Amino acid sequence: MATQPVTTRIVLASRPTGKPVAANFRLEQETVRDIGEGEVLLQILYLSLDPYMRGRMDDAKSYAKSVEIDGVMEGGTVARVVGSRNAAFKPGDIVLSHSGWQSYAISDGSALRKLDPDAAPITTALGILGMTGFTAYAGLRNIGKPKAGETLVVAAASGAVGSAVGQIARIFGARVVGIAGGAEKCDYASREFGFDAVIDHRSSDFASRLEAACPNGIDVYFENVGGHVWNAVFPLLNDFARVPVCGLIAHYNEEPSISEGHNQLPTVMRGILRRSLTIRGFIQREFVDQRPDFYREAAQWIAEGRLKYREDIVDGLENAPEAFMGLLEGKNFGKLIVRIAQ
Ligand SMILES: NC(=O)c1ccc[n+]([C@@H]2O[C@H](COP(=O)([O-])OP(=O)(O)OC[C@H]3O[C@@H](n4cnc5c(N)ncnc54)[C@H](OP(=O)(O)O)[C@@H]3O)[C@@H](O)[C@H]2O)c1
């Protein structure tokens, strides 16, 4: 009789107040049970770390359910099938799953998508050819709608979503100004992703440099950040500008009372009215029917060298909490992924 594997998992030990700390996570081990009829046993190879996970650690009402205390932290994963009692899967298959922060998982197969390792590196299913790439595509196609010659500004421009936004917008013919933290990320985004300008949001003259980089104003602002970046962008928005509100990472660690601080509502609402702005929040999965178009177009753009990506791979599940805490402070450089097994 084969020995059952032991799964290592990271659970939510307590809810953070402000920034998450190591004590909010706990590492546990447990022997995996036998799989039942229709089930598959997955060995997790790669885990995606994403900013939305911060929201799942709170118990505030949101668009998705919170992780329970003592529950396994949620997350997208790429896994190898190592046992199967499901006719659709055989050992050795590589699948996209949503198995969370653990090394083995059992699935009934319904939410798995088979990946072809010969078509693209399997990690891309968590990034450029996965949720983050699709977020960029859906936000641009449905809300930002950049036209040739327009100026698009994107925040967190060296990251998973932002780097794809800027490159796809350039494919659509827009002039792209990225915003990133620090000289290394800014240089990389202009050199590798081909952005027309990249401005460091940590520089003391950030707002004036952004204004100088956008002499014709801003027609599309792809919002990933909020905070001081939004404050610098907002006055530069042109009449009829579109703002896909994708994320507000600068605020994820704040208590609600802090972000409500100084009341900016009158300024923002006046701007929306006078400049006929379209500001529209979205969650990528509302455009799920466009995924086949995305897979086809993105694969072609990558093959043509027009859509590049950068991954930041951290080794070892035990290092996931620290890597995740770093993500919320800009320490990652590219799509953050944890390698759990080869
Ligand atoms: N709506 C959706 O369906 C959807 C789906 C996926 C992601 N998102 C959102 O998209 C955004 C980007 O996600 P991602 O996965 O691509 O992450 P990412 O850009 O790869 O990593 C996050 C980056 O955000 C920047 N950042 C962190 N804290 C910041 C702060 N206080 N002020 C300014 N910038 C800060 C950092 O870049 P710098 O060092 O360059 O500042 C950091 O590297 C997030 O807000 C996320 O929640 C939304």
If asked whether residues 113 and 225 sit together in one domain, one would say no
Find out whether the beta carbon of 41 lies less than 6 Å from any atom of ligand 1: no
106 with 151, same domain? no
List helix spans (H) across the chain: 52-56, 131-139, 160-171, 183-192, 206-213, 227-233, 256-260, 265-274, 291-303, 320-327
Give distance in angstroms: CA of 205 to centre of ligand 1.
22
pTM, full prediction: 0.96
97 in the same domain as 37? yes
Mean pLDDT of 5-15: 97
Q: Is 191 helix (H, G, I), strand (E, B) or coil?
A: helix
Q: In this structure, is residue 149 part of a structural domain?
A: yes
Contact 123, 337 (CB under 8 A): yes
| In a shared domain, residues 118 and 214 | no
And the tokens for 50?
């994403």
Binned at pLDDT 50, 70 and 90, residue 2 comes out as: low
Same domain, 163 and 255: yes
- Is a pLDDT exceeding 80 seen at residue 1? no
Q: What is the pLDDT at residue 255?
A: 73
Tell me: do 186 and 282 sit in the same domain: yes
- Answer yes or no: do 81 and 171 share one domain: no
CATH number at residue 68: 3.90.180.10
pLDDT recorded at residue 260: 53
Quote the pLDDT of residue 61. Answer: 78
Ligand 1 atom nearest to CA at 132: 6
Got the DSSP string for 208-242?
HHHHHH-TT-EEEEEBS--HHHHHHHGGGEEEEEE
In a domain, 78, yes or no: yes
- Residue range 151-174, pLDDT digits in tens: 999 999 999 999 999 999 999 999
Asked if residue 108 is part of any domain, the answer here is yes
Best residue among 142, 154, 195, 225 to mutate for probing ligand 1, ranked by most atoms within 8 Å of CB: 225
pLDDT digits (tens, 9 = 90+) for 84-114: 999 999 999 999 999 999 999 999 999 999 9
CA-based nearest residue to 208, from 231, 224, 190: 231
User: Does residue 225's CB lie within 6 angstroms of at least one atom of ligand 1?
Assistant: yes
User: Is 113 part of any domain?
Assistant: yes
Do 191 and 318 fall into the same domain? no
Q: What 3-state class would DSSP assign to 66?
A: coil
Residues 327/49, Cβ–Cβ less than 8 Å: yes
Question: Which residue matches tokens 């890597």?
Answer: 323
213 C-beta closer than 6 A to ligand 1: no
Write out pLDDT tens, residues 49-72: 999 999 999 998 788 899 999 999
> Is residue 145, in this structure, part of any structural domain at all?
yes
Question: Same domain, yes or no, for 222 and 85?
Answer: no
- Each residue's pLDDT tens digit, 181-215: 999 999 999 999 999 999 999 999 999 999 999 99
Judge whether 96 lies within some domain.
yes
Q: Specify the ligand 1 atom closest to the Cα of 51.
A: 47
| Same domain assignment for residues 232 and 275 | yes
* Residue 197 domain-assigned (yes or no): yes
Tell me what the pLDDT averaged over the chain comes to: 95
pLDDT over 90 (residue 259):
no
Residue 80 and residue 99 share a domain: yes
- Ligand 1 in contact with 337 (CB < 6 A)? no
* Span from the CA of 159 to the centroid of ligand 1 (angstroms): 7
Give the domain extent around 270: 131-288+295-301
Q: What is the pLDDT of residue 269?
A: 87
Query: Do 163 and 284 lie in a common domain?
Result: yes
Q: In this predicted structure, which of 23-27, 61-65, 212-216, 308-312 has the lowest mean pLDDT?
A: 61-65
Determine the pLDDT at residue 257: 54
Q: Is residue 1 part of a domain?
A: no
- In ligand 1, which atom is closest to the CA atom of 336? 20
- CATH number of residue 204's parent domain: 3.40.50.720
In angstroms, the CA 294 to CA 140 distance is 12
**Structural domain tally of the chain?**
2
CA atoms within 13 A on the CB side of 237: 30
